[in-house]
């Protein structure tokens, strides 16, 4: 924009001398190498064509000067410049102070091109006055943007007001903007005052094609541009929703934002970020989230910094509130070629009433009507390293000893000695299974289970089953590492108790809502049932084949034997197919177990022996055995 101002002033100042000196001598004083294609002088009009000021890198295609008075003492009334090119040098105008009182005639210019490095701009405009305090109206169109505005010439400083502009970047060498803003397509207005530095402020009305209303301020008095952006969030609703959908993927989302968000470019490489936001009337739908639209509200507050070159992000003591549940958080991360993240979440005093009033109904499912009381706390640390997944870590300190259940639609106590559950398999069969010997003569009590069953099951599914309270850091940590290494969600980190909760009470859909329900039910199972009772129920209900539930039925289906009479290797095989009975049913259909699966069974048996969960004689016989299905 200042390049446009300089060319106008240069043209007007140079031609102003024609009024008192012969044309050629005057032009040669401006540039000794000047050449003119054609000069025509008539009463009241001077016409210059193809004027080359090679020393000034200036070319004027057509200049019309309207004058009055005598030829030797003319008065310049106005000037018209049509077409031309200028490649400004940094030294042009450098010695001239803004608002220096120069006398300039009215003028008009049209289709004038300014070339600056690899950029160019076509400007048109009208200069309205003869002295300081007057103005120059501009219209500009270039490869980087377009705009209209006014240059004001004051006694102390010049200033520019651009009433409208649209650009995707700033022209080369004019001012260096922070890297984060490069490539942004913005539209808005700006006011600039110019003395020894630029101070600009205005309003961005579009960001990447989405409606917005973002206040910005720019100041370069420190030697590098300092930029601050801030907005009331309701003014950038469309931008926020678009970014949220991009971040979350296949999710429909809508909300009503309020509060503010600000960015301050501390230097060329560092951004300060502040947010105090409310998101009301949040509505989200995704098949991976829940079976229905989730409605909730949230609040977010934090101060942090980001390093643009490395995308190092740091947030200390932020807070996020879901409904009435506040969660404090610290976040440190690097999101470049070696991405890593450290996230700590905690709440030292979490009230049960706030939990149940804040969980959206769509996430409760069969737990609709749940009421909690008392108090809990948690402190969770998640560390992710995408370059070295084995360096990822997980730690959790959760205290629910003070939490109580005031009302629950699902009764756990009945499972201590009886109860029932409705089981479904991957083939579409469903059956209600009663969990006691009085109503289910095929029900296997814990003491009648195969002696190698528990050790092999723990080895394959949950080694710390006897020691945890339903949740295992070791499982979660290994799941995180495995999923990061594979680049997709392949391992869930469920304990035996969590698997039992799913089988007893929940459907087969894999959603975030089911995981929340599973966490609550796992906690209640651990509070009401002994470890022996949980293993007993688990062994009698898990899916093992088409309309085959429990290890007792599986022993008859695959080997035509009662479960206690199976060999250790046969028990190991049944345990090995738990993650995917339908997938691994092909072994039975083909009447052959692949060698790699036999090797996997050997590993299970070896680990069990090493941990003392099966005796050496049983392990030795199991390794010598092989799987043969019954006809």
Q: Identify the three-state secondary structure at position 560.
A: coil
pLDDT at 574 over 70: yes
The residue with greater pLDDT, 511 or 327, is: 327
Q: Are strands 371-385 and 393-399 parallel, antiparallel or unpaired?
A: antiparallel
What residues pair up with 542 in beta bridges, in sequence order?
none
Higher pLDDT, 154 or 445: 445
Which residue would you say has higher pLDDT here, 123 or 272?
Answer: 272
CA distance 369 to 410: 10
| 479 or 574: which leads in pLDDT | 574
Where does 75-146 have alpha helices with state H? Answer: none
The number of residues making up the chain comes to 631
pLDDT at 92 over 60: no
The pLDDT-based confidence of 94 (bands split at 50, 70, 90) is very low
> Cα-flanking dihedrals φ and ψ of residue 443, to 5°?
-70, 130
Mean pLDDT, rounded, for 594-621: 93
Give residue limits of the domains in the chain. Answer: 1-174, 175-309, 325-387+395-406, 410-624
Q: What's residue 96's pLDDT?
A: 43
Residue 231 CA to residue 87 CA, distance in Å, equals 38
pLDDT of residue 245: 82
The answer on pLDDT for 179 being more than 60 is no
Q: Which of 16-30, 231-245, 424-438, 577-591 has the lowest mean pLDDT?
A: 16-30
Mean pLDDT of 129-158: 59
pLDDT at 19: 40
61, 51, 40, 54: which is closest to 110 by C-alpha? 61
**Tens digit of pLDDT for each residue in 31-83?**
788 888 888 877 778 788 888 878 777 788 888 877 777 666 667 677 788 87
Please check the confidence at residue 512 and state whether its pLDDT lies above 90.
no
Whole-number Cα distances in Å, 276 to 212, 322, 537: 18, 14, 49
**C-alpha distances in Å from residue 218, one per residue of 63, 191, 225, 536:** 37, 10, 7, 70
136: pLDDT strictly greater than 50: yes
Residue 224's pLDDT is 66
pLDDT band at 370 (very low <50, low <70, confident <90, very high): very high
**Looking at the predicted structure, is the pLDDT value of residue 119 above 60?**
yes
Q: What is the band of 132 on the pLDDT scale with cuts at 50, 70, 90? A: very low
The pLDDT-based confidence of 557 (bands split at 50, 70, 90) is: very high
| pLDDT value of position 53 | 79
How confident is residue 159, by pLDDT bands cut at 50, 70 and 90? low
- How does DSSP classify residue 181? G
Q: What is the pLDDT of residue 25?
A: 65
pLDDT over 50 (residue 10): no
pLDDT of residue 386: 79
For the residues 133-144, what does the mean pLDDT come to?
61
**Threshold 0.75, pTM exceeds:** no
Burial (0-12, 13-18, 19+ Cβ within 10 Å), 23: middle
User: Is a pLDDT exceeding 50 seen at residue 158?
Assistant: yes
Q: Which range has the top average pLDDT, 199-203, 261-265, 332-336, 548-552?
A: 548-552
Range with the lowest mean pLDDT among 84-98, 208-222, 236-250, 262-276?
84-98
CB-CB contact of 344 with 383 (8 Å): no
**Measured between alpha carbons, how far is 307 from 314 in angstroms, rounded to an integer?**
9
Q: Is the pLDDT of residue 466 over 60?
A: yes
- Per-residue model confidence as pLDDT tens digits over 284-326: 998 888 889 999 999 999 999 888 777 888 988 899 999 999 9
CA–CA–CA angle 54, 153, 66 (5° rounding): 55
Average pLDDT over residues 340-363: 92
CA distance readout (Å), 35 to 40, 339, 450: 14, 61, 107
Per-residue pLDDT, 171: 58
**In whole angstroms, what is the distance from residue 165 CA to residue 189 CA?**
6
Is a pLDDT exceeding 60 seen at residue 16? no
Q: Residue 525: exposed, middle, or buried by beta-carbon count in 10 A (0-12, 13-18, 19+)? A: buried
pLDDT of residue 575: 96
Tell me the average pLDDT of the chain.
80
Q: Which of 61, 14, 16, 22 is nearest to 41 (CA)?
A: 22
Q: At what angle do helices 595-610 and 453-461 cross, to 10 degrees?
A: 110
State the average pLDDT over residues 170-181: 55
The whole-angstrom separation of Cα 112 and Cα 82 is: 7
- Give the pLDDT mean for 426-446: 93
Mean pLDDT of 143-157: 60
Q: Does 459 have pLDDT greater than 80?
A: yes
DSSP assignment letter at 313: E
CATH of the domain spanning 410-624:
1.10.3810.10
- CB-CB contact of 323 with 358 (8 Å): yes
Residue of 505, 479, 510 whose CA lies nearest to 494: 479
How many CB atoms are located within 10 Å of the residue 290 CB? 22
């Amino acid at each position: 924009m200042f390049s446009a101002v300089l060319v106008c002033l240069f043209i007007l100042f140079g031609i102003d001398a024609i009024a008192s000196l012969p044309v050629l001598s005057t032009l040669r004083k401006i540039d000794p190498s000047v050449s003119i294609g054609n000069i025509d002088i008539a009463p009241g009009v001077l016409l210059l064509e193809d004027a080359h000021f090679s020393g000034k890198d200036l070319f004027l295609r057509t200049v019309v000067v309207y004058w009055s008075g005598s030829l030797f003492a003319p008065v310049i009334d106005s000037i018209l410049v049509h077409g031309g090119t200028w490649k400004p040098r940094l030294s042009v105008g450098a010695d001239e102070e803004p608002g220096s009182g120069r006398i300039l005639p009215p003028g008009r210019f049209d289709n004038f091109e300014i070339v600056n490095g690899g950029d160019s701009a076509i400007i048109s405009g009208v200069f309205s006055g003869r002295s300081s305090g007057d103005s120059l109206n501009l219209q500009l169109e270039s490869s980087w943007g377009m705009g209209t505005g006014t240059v004001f010439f004051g006694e102390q400083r010049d200033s520019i007001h651009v009433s409208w502009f649209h650009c995707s970047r700033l022209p080369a060498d004019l001012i260096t903007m922070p890297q984060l803003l490069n490539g942004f397509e913005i539209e808005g207005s700006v006011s600039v005052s110019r003395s020894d530095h630029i101070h600009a402020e205005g309003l961005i009305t579009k960001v990447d094609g989405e409606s917005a209303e973002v206040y910005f301020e720019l100041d370069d008095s420190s030697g590098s541009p300092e930029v601050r952006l801030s907005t009331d969030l309701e003014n950038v609703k469309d931008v926020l929703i678009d970014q949220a959908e991009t971040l979350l993927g296949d999710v429909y989302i809508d909300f009503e934002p309020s509060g503010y968000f600000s960015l301050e470019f501390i230097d060329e490489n560092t951004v300060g970020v502040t947010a105090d936001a409310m998101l009301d009337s949040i509505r989200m739908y995704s098949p991976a989230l829940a079976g229905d639209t989730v409605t909730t509200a949230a609040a977010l507050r934090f101060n942090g910094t980001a390093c643009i070159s490395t995308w190092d992000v740091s947030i200390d003591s932020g807070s996020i509130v879901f409904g009435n549940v506040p969660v404090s958080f610290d976040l440190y991360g690097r999101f470049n070629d070696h991405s890593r993240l450290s996230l700590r979440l905690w709440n030292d005093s979490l009230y049960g009433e706030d939990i149940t009033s804040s969980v959206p109904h769509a996430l409760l499912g069969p737990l609709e009507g749940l009421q909690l009381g008392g108090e809990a706390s948690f402190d969770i640390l998640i560390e992710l390293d995408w370059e070295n997944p084995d360096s990822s870590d997980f730690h959790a300190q959760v205290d629910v000893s003070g939490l109580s259940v005031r009302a629950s639609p699902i009764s756990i106590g009945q499972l201590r000695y009886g109860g029932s559950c409705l089981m479904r398999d991957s083939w579409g069969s469903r059956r209600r299974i009663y969990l006691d010997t009085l109503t289910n003569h095929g029900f296997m009590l814990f003491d009648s289970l195969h002696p190698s069953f528990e050790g092999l099951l723990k080895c394959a599914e949950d080694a710390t089953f006897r020691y945890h309270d339903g949740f295992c850091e070791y499982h979660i940590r290994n799941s995180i590492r495995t999923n990061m290494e594979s680049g997709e969600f392949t391992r869930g980190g469920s304990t035996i108790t969590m698997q039992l909760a799913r089988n007893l009470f929940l459907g087969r859909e894999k959603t975030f809502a089911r995981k929340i329900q599973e966490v609550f039910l796992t906690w209640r199972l651990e509070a009401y049932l002994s470890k022996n009772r949980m293993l007993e129920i688990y062994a009698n209900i898990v899916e093992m084949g088409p309309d085959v539930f429990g290890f007792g039925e599986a022993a008859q289906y695959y080997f035509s034997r009662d479960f206690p009479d199976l060999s250790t290797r046969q028990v190991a095989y049944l345990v090995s197919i738990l993650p995917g009975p339908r997938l691994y049913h092909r072994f039975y259909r083909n009447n052959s177990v692949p060698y790699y699966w036999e090797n996997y069974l050997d590993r299970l048996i070896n680990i069990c022996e090493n941990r003392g969960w099966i005796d050496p004689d049983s392990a030795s016989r199991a390794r010598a055995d092989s799987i043969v299905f019954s006809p």
